[in-house]
Amino acid sequence: MSLEQQMMKRALVASLVIFVASSAVAMPPFGGACGGSGSQSLQQQLDLNEEQAASLQTIMEERFQSRLLMHKRHHDEMEQHRAETRERLAALLSETQIEQLEAYRLWHERAGRPGGRR
């Protein structure tokens, strides 16, 4: 597997992890974008009438969608930056040097030292 394929695979896995984690954090209290059994207990807990509950659910769903959009924009910017970095490295270094640089970065990462991502 080439270095570029390995990097793409790692980027995909990292993206999935970030997406799942951010989705869990961004979930509205209704149990998801479409509501669910949690909406009734929240309605009772906050002592909301039907109109208030419907309005609150709409607001929370819009907030959830906004967070998903922000995550997508951030992800797209990160991916663009990674692609630009790969292009700059390819213009500067040979393929062997890029592989050595990646091995060095991984060594630092595993050792928990600066220069590697944690």
- Give me the DSSP letters along 51-109: HHHHHHHHHHHHHHHHHHHHHHHHHHHHHHHHHHHHHHHHHHS-HHHHHHHHHHHHHHH
Give 112 or 78, the one with higher predicted confidence: 78
- Reported as a single tens digit per residue, the pLDDT across 64-107 is 888 888 888 888 888 888 899 889 989 988 899 888 888 888 88
- pTM for the full predicted model: 0.40
Residue 5 has pLDDT above 70, yes or no: yes
Residue type, 86: R
